[in-house]
């Protein structure tokens, strides 16, 4: 089990025919979106190693390789070398080091020569060919621990059984793995399966899998910290301005509401970017699908309709006290239905147009408008609905983030159906009285600036968020 002269971490080389998905598999397994993924065959011409770091320590490394170019010739040469005894991989690379037409084949065997384990990748949407059998024989002759991966989309499985039968004859293990749709759970299962390719590898790979799981738990914990900071910051946020002779009370409060909404939106976007970076989406900028509610502005009627509180939850919260639940601004059972918000850019204008002569008192029920002498203030939030919309948007963003495989580049394609279904009601739609009580206590403590109760409420609220993230990770 070798990773070259400068590392003691286990190395796994990704091999296969050109344009079969090797780079996509590597990018997804290594969680590295810097891996070049291209539909053009032959883009990878040299081996490139991608270390997997956890707490600054390299626990595993994957090596991307050029695709096989002349497997029929290589297998003939390696059989002759193997018959003579010795390491046929090392002998082949020395013998043909300066033969230009075999350059890629010599290069791709470099990590194999230094003892790397092998993941052989094929495109399961096409039929098995003789050239594939030649490549498998080359890997068998190497004597290295090896696993086969069928990079197969759910809709392209017509040749799957033929591939599986062939792999059973040539590899220690094989798995179906869609590099463009692989979830965290599927990546862990593949790493678990790697332990079976060689008994000597098992202890090391068990440690690697354990490190992966601990790292994921740590990232989830850091995500909760980011979200708690976001919720506290948004709920406690306020803007204010003096009322001068140049502005009417009406125009000033509209500007303040506009400023408030824009600031909350920016805070949310910044927190989401931190979560995105935490899960190593640093270079390739994935996009949310066109249907996603996260494409809607935070202060938008559709957002509040889909992600707000249900009728039963409004009843429960109304009985708890301590937080306004919407009666003052005609929030109906499914959320805001009166069109209070039409978009972040026109939130203040919409409020003014819809609330008429009572808009000051009604906004005070919702955003927390305060009149004091010649000064107007919007915030802290006076309606707990804002917290639930922020929670649902954060959990949806988390789900999209962890399920966007790093090797995926089809930004215009929709995510798996399961990722769409949850948007119909949000994650909090099933929350009952126990969780609602914790949310109410958290909201009240933040908006009333109660230090001692805030610490206790934050701990309980943190437990709820941690459970949610774990459930989302586990159920994907």
Rounded distance between C-alpha atoms, residue 371 and residue 11, angstroms: 66
Task: Give me the residue label for tokens 């039968």.
Answer: 165
CA dist., res. 256 & res. 379, Å (int): 10
Q: What tens digit of pLDDT does each residue of 288-305 get? A: 666 777 777 888 878 887
Domain at 11-212, CATH homologous superfamily: P-loop containing nucleotide triphosphate hydrolases (3.40.50.300)
155-197 pLDDT per residue, tens: 667 788 899 999 988 888 888 888 777 778 888 888 888 888 8
Lowest mean per-residue pLDDT among 264-273, 302-311, 389-398? 302-311
The enclosing H or E element of 38 equals: none
Residues in a beta bridge with 52:
60
Q: At what angle do helices 202-235 and 249-278 cross, to 10 degrees?
A: 170
- Cα–Cα dist 120/151, whole Å: 10
Residues 75, 102: Cα–Cα separation, whole Å = 12
| pLDDT band at residue 421 using 50, 70 and 90 as cut-offs | very low
Mutual angle of helices 359-366 and 347-355, in 10-degree steps:
130
What was the pLDDT predicted at 339? 29
Please enumerate in sequence order all residues whose Cβ is within 8 A of that of 19, keeping only pairs 6 or more positions apart, or say none.
39, 40, 41, 42, 67, 123
| 367 has a pLDDT exceeding 80 | no
The residue extents of the domains of the chain are: 11-212, 236-475
Round to whole Å and give the CA distance between 174 and 223: 34
How large is the angle between the packed helices 451-475 and 385-403, nearest 10 degrees? 40
| pLDDT cut 70: percent of the chain above it | 76
Does 362 score more than 70 pLDDT?
Answer: no
Q: What angle do CA 454, 231, 380 make, to 5 degrees?
A: 80
**β 239-242/375-378 pair status:** antiparallel
Q: Are 59 and 52 in contact (CB under 8 A)?
A: yes
Q: What is the pLDDT of residue 187?
A: 82
pLDDT value at 353 more than 90: no
Q: Is the pLDDT of residue 403 over 70?
A: yes
Q: Specify the pLDDT at position 153.
A: 62
Q: Which of 138-152, 223-237, 317-331 has the highest mean pLDDT?
A: 223-237
Q: What is the pLDDT averaged over residues 101-126? A: 93
Residue 335: both structure tokens together: 């959320």
Query: Taking 50 as the threshold, does the pLDDT of residue 352 lie above it?
Result: no
Q: How confident is the model at residue 414 (pLDDT cuts 50, 70, 90)?
A: very low
Q: What angle do CA 137, 35, 75 make, to 5 degrees?
A: 15
Nearest of 368, 227, 223, 397 to residue 307 by alpha carbon: 397
CA-nearest of 210, 202, 131, 215 to 173 is 202
What are the beta bridge partners of residue 51? 61
pLDDT at 416 over 50: no
Place of tokens 């009285």: 433
3-state helix, strand, coil in the chain (%, to 5): 55, 10, 35
Count of CB atoms within 10 A of residue 434's CB? 10
Per-residue pLDDT at 330: 33
């Amino acid at each position: 089990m070798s990773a070259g002269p400068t590392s003691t971490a286990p190395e796994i080389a990704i091999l296969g025919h050109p344009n079969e998905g090797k780079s996509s598999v590597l990018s997804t397994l290594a969680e590295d979106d810097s891996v070049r993924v291209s539909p053009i065959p032959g883009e990878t011409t040299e081996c490139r190693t991608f270390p997997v770091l956890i707490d600054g320590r390299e626990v595993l490394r994957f090596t991307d390789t050029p695709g096989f170019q002349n497997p029929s010739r290589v297998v003939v040469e390696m059989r002759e070398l193997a018959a003579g005894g010795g390491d046929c991989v090392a002998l082949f690379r020395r013998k043909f080091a300066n033969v230009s037409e075999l350059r890629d084949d010599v290069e791709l065997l470099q990590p194999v020569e230094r003892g790397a384990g092998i993941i052989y990748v094929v495109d399961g949407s096409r039929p098995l060919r003789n050239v594939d059998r030649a490549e498998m024989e080359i890997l068998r002759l190497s004597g290295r621990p090896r696993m086969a991966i069928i990079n197969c989309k759910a809709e392209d499985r017509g040749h799957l059984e033929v591939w599986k039968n062939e792999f059973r004859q040539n590899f220690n293990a094989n798995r179906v793995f869609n590099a463009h749709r692989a979830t965290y759970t599927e990546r862990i299962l593949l790493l678990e399966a790697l332990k079976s390719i060689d008994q000597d590898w098992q202890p090391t790979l068990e440690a690697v899998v354990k490190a992966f799981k601990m790292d994921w738990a740590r990232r989830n914990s850091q995500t909760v910290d980011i979200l708690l900071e976001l919720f506290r910051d948004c709920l406690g946020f306020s803007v204010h301005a003096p009322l001068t002779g140049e502005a009417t009370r009406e125009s000033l409060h509209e500007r303040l509401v506009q400023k408030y909404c824009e600031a909350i939106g920016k805070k949310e976007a910044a927190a989401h970017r931190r979560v995105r970076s935490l899960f190593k989406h640093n270079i390739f900028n994935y996009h949310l699908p066109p249907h996603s509610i996260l494409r809607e502005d935070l202060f938008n009627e559709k957002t509040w309709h889909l992600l707000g509180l249900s009728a039963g939850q409004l009843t429960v919260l109304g009985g708890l006290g301590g937080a306004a639940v919407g009666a003052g601004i005609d929030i109906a059972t499914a959320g805001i239905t009166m069109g209070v918000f039409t978009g972040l850019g026109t939130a203040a204008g919409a409020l003014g147009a819809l609330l008429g002569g009572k808009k000051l008192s009604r906004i005070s029920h919702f955003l927390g408008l305060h009149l004091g002498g010649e000064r107007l203030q919007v915030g802290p939030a006076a309606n707990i609905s804002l917290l639930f919309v922020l929670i649902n948007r954060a959990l949806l963003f988390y789900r999209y983030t962890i399920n966007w495989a790093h090797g995926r580049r089809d930004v215009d394609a929709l995510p798996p159906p399961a990722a769409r279904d949850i948007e119909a009601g949000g994650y909090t739609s099933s929350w009952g009285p126990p969780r609602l009580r914790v949310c109410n206590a958290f909201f009240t403590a933040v908006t009333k600036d109660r230090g001692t109760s805030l610490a206790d409420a934050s701990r309980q609220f943190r437990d709820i968020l941690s459970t949610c993230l774990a459930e989302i990770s586990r159920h994907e």
